[in-house]
Amino acid sequence: MLSFIKKYLQPDYHFNCMSDIDLKLFRESNIKGLIIDIDNTTMPYSSKKLQVVIKDWINKVDNEDFEITFVSNTIPKRADFVSNYFNKPAYGYAAKPFGFAFKRAIKSMDLSNEKIAIIGDQIFTDILGGNLAGFMTILVEPIESKDFFLTNIFRWFESLFYDRNKGLMQRE
Ligand SMILES: [Mg+2]
């Protein structure tokens, strides 16, 4: 049981920030589309301040013809903001890690699951959901530590299974 849980909670890769990801990683793995988390992955949990490095990286990904869809458990208002900003689909109240959370994203990108990578800061939503769906899974460090109360509880559970600091390297 424990090894089953560990397998599904383990990200394929772990970066500090998504802007650290070299697009070579996607090309070499035949990844054509990205599902990106919003809160604490694309922008801070408590504001809509988009970091320049993240904006630039997302625009670069877009220019290199990867599909991009944002999927978040956040309120639809924040999803709409990101959608308008990047001119990409963004879905709020997604209920990650459950499979149906990704249905619209997969449909909008028109890609099979193994050609999709998910990028997010939470193991119990982004990584677990992504592993169950058969996506490449990429964990990033949260942009800010101030986060929703429940998230902090989840992080405590996460620490039982995964040492974020120890895992902070690209696993080949
Ligand atoms: Mg998040």
Residue entry with tokens 């956040």: 74
> What is the pLDDT averaged over residues 145-163?
70
> How large a percentage of the chain has pLDDT more than 70?
91
Mind listing the domains of the chain with CATH numbers?
Answer: 2-161 (3.40.50.1000)
Task: Flag whether pLDDT at 30 surpasses 70.
Answer: yes
Q: How far apart are the CA of 76 and the centre of ligand 1, in A?
A: 14
Distance 31 CA to ligand 1 centre (A): 21
Band of residue 6 on the pLDDT scale cut at 50, 70, 90 = confident
3-state secondary structure 87-153: CCCEECCCCCCCHHHHHHHHHHHCCCHHHEEEEECCHHHHHHHHHHHCCEEEEECCCCCCCCHHHHH
User: Ligand 1 center to residue 84 CA distance, Å?
Assistant: 19
What is the pLDDT, as a whole number, of residue 63?
97
**pLDDT tens figures, 31-42:** 999 999 999 999
pLDDT value at residue 58 = 98
CA–centroid distance, 40 to ligand 1, in Å, is 5
- The model's pTM is 0.87
Question: pLDDT tens across 43-60, in order?
Answer: 998 888 999 999 999 999
Tokens of 101: 């959370």
Ligand 1 centroid–CA 123 distance in Å is 9
The Å distance, Cα 16 to ligand 1 centre, comes to 14
According to the model, what pLDDT value does residue 172 have? 42
Q: What value does the mean pLDDT take over residues 93-102?
A: 88
Work out the average pLDDT over 124-130: 94
